[in-house]
Structure 1
Amino acid sequence: MLESYLTGLVVCGGIIIAIGAQNAYVLGLAVRREHHWWSAGLCMGTDLLLVSAGMFGMSAVLLTMPGALEALRWLGVVFLGWLALQALHRATAGRQGLAVAEARGHSVTRVVLATLAVTVLNPQVYLDTLLLIPSVGAQQDSAGAFVAGAGSASILWFSLLAWGGALLSPWLSRPRAWRVIDGGIGVMMAIIAVQLAGGELGGVA
């Protein structure tokens, strides 16, 4: 059982740590202290829900719906491209340094909806959580322990993003520093959008 748990922890951790749309979005919110724990918690919950679904049969359903993944792919390209343009505009136009009071710029509802969009419009999320991770989990002695390990990896990682980004925000309050952050997030989002458009889904969860 412990071996299954550790396998889930390592496999899921290795997949979600790769910088992708979800991670970049949560980190950006955390640095701005903008309802970042809501976003991080939602990412944790969806990871656990999808991995559990994949482990208990949803992967077979996904394989019968290639058209749905294709539609999600192009929706993802459009949405990520929009996020990239927003971040790059902020990077070039500049803005005032960060302050805790600015954290109320976006409502919780808007943050939650944007987090859901970053998650559900990325087909790689489904390939990872409903196919790749469960394919490893199917070889383990305890499916429950494997899912628990995968869920722990998600909780640890997104907690680190939310906590670490917020912790660093006082040192990143200068306009020049935030331009660099926005520029980096914009470039990452643009690269992911291009990868999705080209069908290169690997490693962009």
Structure 2
Amino acid sequence: MEELAREAGIPVRTVRFYRERGLIAPPRREGRIAWYDDHHLARLRTIAGLLERGHTLTGIADLARTFESGRDVAEVLGLGEPTEETPVRLTPEQLADYFEGEVTPENLAAALDLGYLATDGDEIVHISRRLLEVSAELVREGVPLSTVLSAGRRVREHADALAELFVGVMRSHSTETEPTQLRPLARAVVDAELSMAFDRRLRRDDGTGPKPAETKTPET
């Protein structure tokens, strides 16, 4: 414990306090000797980093329990599964910096459940750099992270339906095009339709576009 405290730059009594609070795992014991390893040191550095960012010890303990319940990165990404997205490895402190004040146990649990985040030892892996950057930008623009994650869940449902539609069409009517070749074609269609949908919605909100058709109920 003395060696661990020296490496972490904190008093031994602080390490002992963290052990009693369950903030670090018990050491491996051999007789009367307790062995701490790099995982304990990484956890102590994470605790120090999160404390500097305004998190409380209770909040850090809740985050740690949520983090430890997450799925392994191999389970989320799928071993050998092709993807165009670039995963990003983050420490818990780096994740807190991306979403300042928004990394709560509830939001972390939601992101883990969606499969946006996975665990790999002492690191967190985000499945997509693009999604990470866009989510952080939305939060910087004032959108709560909980709202971003809720919207992401709904987008996931629509995206799955669109993928099923495109793959089904091509498999039914083409014997030459591989499903992976659909990606640029599908993206072009979805991007164009989404752009036009934005235009229609904005014109309607501004009062310059057609309003949804009203239905009349026959009088009795």
Q: TM-score, normalised by structure 2?
A: 0.23
Between Structure 1 and Structure 2, the one with more helix by share is: 1
Q: Which has the higher contact order (CA 8 A, sep 6+)?
A: 1
TM-score normalized by structure 1? 0.24
